[in-house]
Amino acid sequence: MADSGYAEWAVSLKGATTVGNNSDVDEGYQIEIKLDLQGLGYPADLGDKLLFGGVMLADGDSFDDPLADYGTRTWAFRESDWGPAAAWIVLDPSVLVVGVEEENTALIPDKLQIIGNYPNPFNPSTKIKYVVPEAGEVTLEFFNAIGERILSEKINTQKAGIFEYNFNASRLASGVYFYRIILNGVNKNNSDISNVGKMLLLK
């Protein structure tokens, strides 16, 4: 992505890791990336700025020389010219990552957040993604443009984490709708906290 002009990145090799030497034992690497999201086509009001990336290990094929497999090669990040940023890299399959649960817990915000709904505009259904900071009862309420509540659904107790709710509006008319997520937490004096999102139904 560096050649796009909207990203900065740096690679640091760990320990005895080398490039181009298949006979040694590498110790991994660390990569840091800084992105200009607006420059890459994302809107300025992109929710809470959390990004989700995908990783693909393309080591299923082989070259005639077994030491030249995909997993032994150096790969780079790249952004496609025809859409939002699509970074990719091949990782070493021999690296074992531990402590994932502890790291994920640390990434969960300390307040109820709405990441957004996708697609938006939508027809007839959309998925609402939100973050719950602590265990508690979650309720989703939906309103039309004049503030009338059209649906209220109480979900079973959810633990802290990221969740999705599938909203089907096949029986509703086109227009702007609002949704509110309410959390009745167990660790904050049992008080309700809420957040509101906006979506557009086009039929």
- Lowest mean pLDDT, pick from 19-28, 124-133, 149-158, 169-178: 19-28
Statement to judge: residues 75 and 113 lie in one domain: no
Q: Which residues contact 46 (CB under 8 A, 6 or more apart)?
A: 37
Statement to judge: residues 129 and 186 lie in one domain: yes
Average pLDDT of the segment spanning 44-73: 56
Q: Is residue 168, in this structure, part of any structural domain at all? A: yes
Tokens standing for 134? 């602590």
Q: Is the peptide bond before 119 cis (omega within 30 degrees of 0)?
A: yes
Q: CATH number of the domain that 164 lies in? A: 2.60.40.2550
The answer to whether the predicted template modeling score (pTM) of the entire model surpasses 0.85 is no
Statement to judge: residues 166 and 188 lie in one domain: yes
Q: Is residue 117, in this structure, part of any structural domain at all? A: yes
Average pLDDT of the segment spanning 175-202: 81
Q: Is residue 63, in this structure, part of any structural domain at all? A: yes
Q: Is residue 102, in this structure, part of any structural domain at all? A: no
What pLDDT is recorded for position 93? 43
Domain boundary among 61, 96, 131: 96
Statement to judge: residues 39 and 63 lie in one domain: yes
- Lowest mean pLDDT, pick from 27-31, 39-43, 96-100: 96-100
Statement to judge: residues 147 and 178 lie in one domain: yes
Average pLDDT of the segment spanning 53-61: 50
Which one has a higher pLDDT value, 183 or 66?
A: 183
Euclidean distance between CA atoms 131 and 112, whole angstroms:
6
What pLDDT is recorded for position 158? 85
Where do the H-state alpha helices sit in the chain? 100-107
Statement to judge: residues 133 and 87 lie in one domain: no
What pLDDT is recorded for position 96? 45
The beta strands (E) that lie in the chain are given as 7-13, 29-35, 113-118, 125-132, 136-143, 149-158, 161-168, 175-185, 192-201
Average pLDDT of the segment spanning 103-113: 61
Give me the domain span that covers residue 2.
Answer: 1-96
Domain boundary among 96, 129, 162: 96
Q: Which residues contact 24 (CB under 8 A, 6 or more apart)?
A: 16, 18
Q: Is residue 78, in this structure, part of any structural domain at all? A: yes
Q: Is residue 127, in this structure, part of any structural domain at all? A: yes
User: Does the pLDDT of residue 18 top 60, yes or no?
Assistant: yes
Instruction: Report how many domains make up the chain.
Output: 2
Percent of the chain with pLDDT over 90: 24
